[in-house]
Amino acid sequence: MNLNIGVIKGDGIGPEIVTEAMKVLDRTAKIYGHTCDYTQLLLGGASIDVHGVPLTDETIAGAKKCDAVLMGSIGGDAKTSPWYQLEPSKRPEAGLLAIRKALNLFANLRPAILYDELKGACPLKEEITEGGFDLMIMRELTGGLYFGERKTVTEDGVLTAYDSLTYNENEIRRIAKRAFDIAMKRGKKVTSVDKANVLDSSRLWRKVVEEVAAGYPEVSLTHMLVDNCAMQLVKNPKQFDVVLTENMFGDILSDEASMVTGSIGMLASASLNETKFGLYEPSGGSAPDIAGKGIANPIATILSAAMMLRFSFDLDKEADAIESAVAKVLKEGYRTIDIMSEGKTQVGTAEMGDLIASHLA
């Protein structure tokens, strides 16, 4: 099979970690008889440097011609980068929001898996993490507060800002269906997270999710308020299977989930539309403070590439091989600095990529 893949290397550590993911993809393709055809695309700060804007029509058109897009991290240091002297609509993150909307990437999948080998890097007590855990956060990605109307005005001499949180039933229904479909392949349990005791949007969210749940009698549904969910993720993460939630709540909870796995450098991510097209990226930021030092953890990006093979190309065996190679390397004691612990062997970004590629079978 020819894999037609768009590549957005991005900013900060993005080029380094995407390079390692491509290395692993190329090795996987060679072993299993595929070819990778890459199209390089610009987004974020890298696009601003060339075109003056974080996202161009050419990048959108190029992405749409691909079967999937592999992306690094977007953004820079807000205190020092000239990108952040621009108006908000022209900053790197604006391009990220815009491409999600343009490609209709409404479903964000963020698995949070604690490998047994990384228990030492997990900040939770050992009795909580014994046996590890495996949960999936399903975040609605193109609606809610991040995409609502916003304005800043002066009212009665006081500077006042407005951000609108809006969801309609169709937006909620399609992400809920995707969550229940994925739950059917996992532990058949969905925890829907909202703030229905306060927000009208959350009350509609809960109503529509219950309607969708009626079509999945094998899947159990539990509702949980977002503040309670934040506490439960650190108290007992093993209770969760699929966590379904709206855009802003999902943004926060998925980062929290990443830290209880030991490092955000371990958290992969997929953003899907209603076809098999998806944009795959690590959940962590661009980490400009360590860019170019060769110490960034590429595992999240490599695992994102595995998700791409699984969800966009239906290559489950190849995805399994990458995930198994990651587990083998960790079991052998190799660590990047962010997950380093006593008695293990510290390696850099490129060496970690080499090790994972060499363990593919």
Active site residues: 146, 195, 227, 251, 255
Sequence-distant (6+) residues with CB within 8 A of 190 are: 179, 180, 183, 213, 219, 220, 221, 222, 241, 242, 243, 244
Number of helices and strands in the chain (H, E): 12, 14
294 and 337 in contact (C-beta within 8 Å)? no
Residue 199's region, left for phi above 0, alpha for psi from -120 to 50, else beta, is: beta
Cβ distance 301 to 18 under 8 Å? yes
| Among the listed residues 342, 344, 320, the one whose alpha carbon sits nearest the alpha carbon of residue 332 | 344
- Give the span between the Cα atoms of 120 and 203, in whole angstroms: 40
